[in-house]
Structure 1
Amino acid sequence: MSPRESPIAAQRARNARLLAQAEQLALADRAEHGGEELPVILLPANSRNTVELPEASRDAFLDRLRGTIAEAFSEAVRDNSAPMSAEADAARQDAGWALPASIPAMPDIIGASCGTCRGECCTAGGTHGFLHADSIMRVRAQLTDDGETVTAESLEARYASYLPARHYRGSCVFHTTAGCHLPRALRSNLCNRYVCGGLAQLTRALVSTGQTSAYVAAADSVHLRRLALVTVAGSRAIPLRDVN
């Protein structure tokens, strides 16, 4: 980075270089396997290894969760038959961002794309998993609607039962090689609604072109780490040939 170049400008330059590498590999893949020109999208890359979930992390999560549950249980369970504000209603949905109706398989495409990244956004989850009182209130209300008797103790035990034996080092306690170890209904409102800039770009590209496939690359701040052809049926990894 030159003395006059800002960190943001330097990152943009790196991203442009990494995207150009991914585009070259995509072009070579199309030449080898055939097919139409597809969007090429750059996502961040989680490059951490996995370790046994530390007991200290497990205890820290449960200690924090206990306080969050107590806060959520300080109010009566929400009546989900009553009208809700637009903000509260969006927070209650499992997918609060707007999936394009024109691509019914978009959740599968997003899932395969996230698998290429391996959840870099999840690394900020630490020992809290983004679980705040509003998320616990939603979970409590949903379980009550399903006919369950929910207590603070039973809810804590439910979350504890999903803590994995191994997770990505230093990441969210629920972040594993198979994705989030929590069922979607138990995840935080933020986790269920968050879409990174790369996935938003992917969605816009597919909607504008009418396609249902794309090349999705994952890179750290220096190197291209993974590239895959993502389709409604899943993804196919593409070898990285002389790109680093």
Structure 2
Amino acid sequence: MKKKFLATIGAVLGLSLLVSINIPTSTKADSNLLLASVEWVQAQLNPLQTKVTALEKQVAEQDAIIKQLQKAVSEGGGVVTPPTNPGPTEPGTTVSTVYTSTSNVKVHSGASRDYKVLATFGVNKALTVIDQHKSASGVWYRVEISSTVKGWVFSGDVTTTKPGNYVPTSVVTTQAANVRKGATTNYQSLELVAKGTTLKYLGSFKNANGETWYNVQTAKGTKGWVLSTLTEVK
């Protein structure tokens, strides 16, 4: 009887041990499977979310461009603002100045020959470029006609290379500069002009020190000399 009782207790304990071992193992496997499933779903969703964000940004940029163009049309066809970052004529190229290549170059109010003509220039006229736009007809440059008037010129009517026979018509100061009586700093200053001042170009001279000076005339009518390193010719 005692042996039978002990055998019964042993069987119960063995069953309990078996249950205690099997239940946690099953639960752990289920948990790992669930965790792996969640991670897989997240891995699939993350690239989709990135693409959605990029598309939303692109749509917003296109919408802003459309609104700009609609505004330009509603204002009667003024200067059209080109798309953001339209890209230069060639990758990695920036253009700061162009020169007219014919005797009848027209500058338009927009980046098309359909827009009204703001100015007409002869050959070898230097124009400062402030923007550019690539259209179906080709590249257009937005240039300064004056300090208050800007327009568009077609790239086929200009060149980015300064002509060998180019003669400047004006000198623009890149910083405050003295217009002196002679072509050295030893001469007295006749007039101090501010940065960005446009002076009429009269000629140039290289002195004994190897410095190039420009003979100019100011808006006040003062004629004198300004050091070339303080200016740029147009």
Bigger Cα Rg = 2
TM-score by length of structure 1 reads 0.21
TM-score by length of structure 2 reads 0.22
**Is the strand fraction higher in 1 or 2?**
2
Higher relative contact order (CA 8 A, sep 6+): 1
**Is the helix fraction higher in 1 or 2?**
1
